[in-house]
Structure 1
Amino acid sequence: MSLFTNTPTIPATKRWQTAMEVVLSGIALGLSGWWLPALLSGPLNWGLALSCFALVGGLVITYWPYGPLGWANRVTLARAVLVALAAGALANQAFMTAVWSWLAIAVLALVLDGVDGWVARRTQSASSFGARFDMELDALLIMLLCVGLWLESLGGWVLLIGGMRYLFVAAGWRFAWLTKPLFASMRRKTVCVWQVVALLLALTPLTSSLAAEILALSALLSLIYSFGVDAWWLYRQAHAH
């Protein structure tokens, strides 16, 4: 979400319609935090969760030009509530006292990742905004899981898994050919899902430190391979002539 470019001109009425849906989702975040006090156990936890959601919600209000979000984007916004809960629980390592609840929230966010696309297809409401919204939430969730692993036991190298997406985007500021559209790829989707699954498995209390490192390393290597394939394809397209 943070990587959109041109800001569209949106009528004030439509912007207010979008804002009302974001506010209602923010209320849902507050109720969820009240229901799960172990995850948002202090002011810092609440502040981080609310800041995360405010950032996402602000970008949605800024870049969605059609008023009501539609059901597919509403599902994605519900995912944003879950991601904000996961972010808030990282403060003061609160997630470690209720790790199963924290992992359940991450799993639900992963499940809804498939639901919003299905809803978009069923309602014929797929959009470039919805696809980008979904992708950026995936990237943020993966980064949060990496931070969780880093706080638990693994070295700082695990943050490369979550940071690689942002490094790729940053590289595009220097090499414009990296910003060109990519072809649709099942390999890319599979690697994304495996990253989340591997990180979730690595975070469970039942997983040994060695197994957690192996799982995280497999996620990192598969991601390096996937980004390498995409970067090479973009380079060849840019220099074909």
Structure 2
Amino acid sequence: MPFVFPVARTRPRLFTLFELALGAGPLIAAGTILSSLLVSTATWAVTAALYGVIALLTLCYWDRGPLGWANRVTLARAILVAIVAGALAERAFIEAIWLWLAVALVSLALDGVDGFVARKTNSHSRFGARFDMELDALMILLLCVALLKLESLGAWVLMIGGMRYAFVLASWRLEWLSAPLFESFRRKTVCVWQVVALLLALTPLTSHTGATLLALSALIASLYSFGVDVGWLYRRRLEP
């Protein structure tokens, strides 16, 4: 049987690849403007590598051609998240902590914009929702890494951002954890508090004790929220 090249599936991805490649332009422009954050080859390398990973995953899971306006806003968030990660590479963020926090805050603020755009343009998609959620999880983890470096709170602080990834890894082994979860205001509230608590803990105006208490509150809220979800999934597994 002769090999048939899957043109119908490849062509939409070429549109996606083109848009993702164009995203390198704003990334370079933003990195140049924020030169006090990306101060070395290492910081640029981390930024470019993270954007490359995000672009590759987008290319793998999105096969509808153009990204659409909502996903383009989320891609802009990804550029800012990559810059936030790059600044962590050589502790460059410490010298420009307020600027670094501002970039993180803008990225998080865009979280509401892409949802608004999706509703206005009727461009909701499972991919877009997952893209948005994974960027939120990554940003929370990066804030935890920054808090570990800045305040030396101990590795426990990484549990706040790492819990989401531990849940995903566990779901690969325990299939019942992969079942869809119900919509939850509690889950959204906890996510918002995690971000607020970590940002407040990272400001130079917050004492070491204050940062510890804020981080601890975020960890307790996260443990509670994941505990509720895991318990619900386990009980559902036992239902006939």
- Give the TM-score range, shorter chain: over 0.9
The residue aligned with 2:212 is 213
**Pick from 140, 155, 166: which aligns with 1:142?**
140
Distance 1:90 1:9, change over 3 A: farther
Match of 2:38 among 34, 37, 40: 40
- 1:66 shift after superposition: 0.8
Opposite residue 85 of structure 1, the aligned amino acid is I
CA contact (8 A) 1:202 1:216 kept: yes
> Structure 1 residue 166 and structure 2 residue 189: aligned?
no
User: Using the alignment, how far apart are the partners of 1:135 and 1:202 within structure 2?
Assistant: 22
TM-score (norm 1): 0.95
The residue number in structure 2 matching 1:222 is: 221
Change (3 A) 1:9 1:217: farther
Which secondary structure does the structure 2 equivalent of 1:181 belong to? coil
Alignment gaps of 5+ in structure 1: 1-7
2:236 aligned with 1:237, yes or no?
Answer: yes
Structure 2 unaligned blocks of 5 or more: 1-5
Whole-angstrom distance in 2 between the partners of 1:61 and 1:168: 24
Partner of residue 4, structure 1: none
Over the aligned positions, Cα root-mean-square deviation in angstroms equals 1.3
> How far apart are residue 11 of structure 1 and its match?
2.3
Q: d(CA) in 2 for partners of 1:173 and 1:12?
A: 29
For residues 108-144 of structure 1, what are the alpha-carbon distances to aligned partners after superposition, in whole Å with 9 as ceiling and x for unaligned? 1111011111111111111100011001101110010
Q: Which of 48, 52, 55 in structure 2 is aligned with 1:54?
A: 52
8 A Cα contact 1:19 1:61, kept in partner: yes
With normalisation by structure 2, the TM-score equals 0.95
Farther-moved stretch of structure 1 (129-138 vs 169-178): 169-178
Q: How many residues were matched structurally?
A: 234
Match of 1:80 among 70, 78, 81: 78
Deviation string for 1:36-60 (max 9, x for gaps)? 1111000100000000000001111
Contact 1:172 1:178 in 2 (8 A): yes
Shift of residue 12, structure 1, vs aligned partner: 2.3
Aligned partner of 1:12 in structure 2 is 10
The alignment partner of 1:11 has SS state of: helix
Tell me if structure 2 keeps the 8 A contact 1:9–1:65. Answer: no
| Cα distance in 2, alignment partners of residues 228 and 10 from structure 1 | 44
Name the CA distance, whole Å, in 1 between partners of 2:170 and 2:47.
29
Task: State the 1:9 CA deviation.
Answer: 9.3
Partner of 1:5: none
Aligned to 1:3: none
- The structure with the largest alpha-carbon Rg is 2
Q: How far apart are 1:21 and its partner, in Å?
A: 1.2
Percentage of pairs with the same residue: 58
